[in-house]
Amino acid sequence: MHRINDYRDIIGDERVSQLYQKAKSLYGKHILHLNSTYQGGGVAEMLMALVPLFNDIGIEAGWRILHGNPDFFVVTKKIHNALQGENITLTEAEKTLYIQTNEAFATYTHLDHDCVIIHDPQPMPLINFFHKRQPWVWRCHIDLSNPNRNTWEFLEQFVLRYDEAIVSNEKYATQMPIHHNIIFPAIDPMSSKNNDMSDAVVTKELNKYEIPRDKPIVCQISRFDKWKDPIGVIEVFKMIKKKVDCRLVLCGSMASDDPEGLEIYDTVRKNAKALIDSGDVILTTSESNTLVNALQRASAVIIQKSLREGFGLTVSEALWKGTPVLASNVGGIPLQIQDGVNGYLLDPTDFKGYADKAIELLENPKRAKEMGERGIEHVRQHFLITRVLSNYLDLLNNIFYPHSLNFS
């Protein structure tokens, strides 16, 4: 487990000292984070890094995971899709299953913490089933800019009971009926996904998964999810391949709270069968931080062709490796990509634009390298997990000491 001190070389003494200062008034506070999966996706990724740092700095932080059966996760994925704008109407039976699963979980867990932080919609109704003795915060990681109205109205009954909300982008707060805070997500530079890796280890790691480096690699790392548009990436790849000989890797592990993953994976596999058979496209579903790290370093270009994206941690992860990123101008992606500086922002429907920019970078490795290197500093300044910790410390100070002056 990493400690705050381990980050000194990356963020500098001054920022480390600020973290310790902000934590002083919070020593001994007992905080709970609760979400619905321990692996797969950005939420688990961040909690894995954040919770130990809370503990190291003197705040007792725990992480619990809501249990649910597969039908529950089908409903919560529908809610997720509806919040991202899909036209979905939940049936009464689905609403009941959603609420009852939360009620059942509440009967065998106790919450006597000083503050409860609930991540995303899956555990949101829990707030109805406890005597509320502490502030509750709803941390929403989803792109809420254009939610399906019916679903949002159904969820608002729960949101209203919370004391504070956190969203990943100001654009997502327009619907929020309670006080909101903005916390941009961030990556952990010390984790095995993001720490240094020599080129020899990169090759060794890719060999384990039978990913050759004989041709330039174009890669998207994302759950198999329609919002990540894996089929669109394959279409773009076909256009690139006409000009530059390269290989596409789609790397997508399965999240336990995402029941659509296998179905989308199968669709992609069928769609790209000939390219997979010829070795031009490689699909992998392995869950491995070191594989992600190696792929982000080995790739000539990383693509993130999302149609919607709450934030898109994969973008900062790739930039941190000095690899240029072509990504859609949606959700939190434009916060991370400075168009033409450390990558390119594209319209997700502009397949030709994606292909042209990829070809440009594949044909100009020097330019690609320069762009990639500019990404590292941008991530260091804005998207490292220590900044998220700092944002949480500010929020907790404001919650517990609302009338004191905040010097942060």
CB of 41 to ligand UDP, least distance (A): 4
Q: Which residue is nearest to ligand UDP (CB)?
A: 42
Q: Determine if 331 is a binding residue for ligand UDP (CB under 6 A).
A: no
Structure-token match 């619990």, residue found: 64
Nearer to ligand UDP, 209 or 400 (CB): 209
Main-chain dihedrals φ then ψ at residue 220, nearest 5 degrees: -120, 130
Between CA 224 and CA 251 the distance in angstroms is 8
The sign one gets for the Cα dihedral 297, 302, 306, 309 is positive
Report which DSSP code applies to 165. E
CB of 193 to ligand UDP, least distance (A): 6
Q: ∠ CA 381-383-388 to the nearest 5 degrees?
A: 110
Nearer to ligand UDP, 175 or 306 (CB): 306
Total residues binding ligand UDP (CB under 6 A): 16
- Choose which of 11, 41, 113, 389 interacts with ligand UDP (CB under 6 A): 41
String marking each residue 72-111 x if it binds ligand UDP according to CB under 6 A: ----------------------------------------
Q: Determine if 323 is a binding residue for ligand UDP (CB under 6 A).
A: no
Looking at the DSSP bridge assignments, the partners of residue 304 are 327
Q: Which residues of 211-243 are buried (b: 16+ CB within 10 A; e: fewer)?
A: beeeebbbbbbbbbbbbbbbebbbebbeebbee
Nearer to ligand UDP, 106 or 197 (CB): 197
C-beta of residue 124 within 8 angstroms of C-beta of residue 108? no
Contact range with ligand UDP by CB under 6 A, out of 73-81, 210-218, 305-313, 339-347: 305-313
Burial class (CB in 10 A: 0-12, 13-18, 19+), 330: buried
DSSP 64-84: EE----HHHHHHHHHHHHHHT
Task: Name residues whose C-beta falls within 8 Å of residue 350's C-beta, 6 or more positions apart in sequence.
Answer: none
Site for ligand UDP in 13-32 (CB under 6 A): none
Where would I find the beta strands (DSSP E) of 222-372?
A: 247-251, 281-284, 301-304, 325-328, 343-346
Q: Determine if 45 is a binding residue for ligand UDP (CB under 6 A).
A: yes
- Choose which of 222, 328, 391, 397 interacts with ligand UDP (CB under 6 A): 222
Nearer to ligand UDP, 176 or 221 (CB): 221
Nearest to 253 by CA among 291, 304, 297: 291
Task: Name residues whose C-beta falls within 8 Å of residue 292's C-beta, 6 or more positions apart in sequence.
Answer: 193, 221, 251, 317
Q: Determine if 348 is a binding residue for ligand UDP (CB under 6 A).
A: no
Q: Determine if 313 is a binding residue for ligand UDP (CB under 6 A).
A: yes
CB of 25 to ligand UDP, least distance (A): 31
Structure-token match 């919770």, residue found: 51
Q: Determine if 181 is a binding residue for ligand UDP (CB under 6 A).
A: no
Site for ligand UDP in 247-266 (CB under 6 A): 251-253
Q: Is 147 helix (H, G, I), strand (E, B) or coil?
A: coil
CB of 376 to ligand UDP, least distance (A): 17
Nearer to ligand UDP, 216 or 331 (CB): 331
Contact range with ligand UDP by CB under 6 A, out of 119-127, 159-167, 217-225, 366-374: 217-225
Burial class (CB in 10 A: 0-12, 13-18, 19+), 180: middle
Q: Determine if 312 is a binding residue for ligand UDP (CB under 6 A).
A: yes
- Choose which of 101, 168, 169, 314 interacts with ligand UDP (CB under 6 A): 314
Contact range with ligand UDP by CB under 6 A, out of 2-10, 245-253, 371-379, 395-403: 245-253
Nearest-10 crossing angle of helices 313-320, 42-56: 70
Q: Determine if 151 is a binding residue for ligand UDP (CB under 6 A).
A: no
CB of 42 to ligand UDP, least distance (A): 3
Q: Determine if 317 is a binding residue for ligand UDP (CB under 6 A).
A: yes
CB of 73 to ligand UDP, least distance (A): 14
Q: Which residues are at the interface with ligand UDP (CB under 6 A)?
A: 41-42, 45, 193, 221-223, 251-253, 292, 311-314, 317
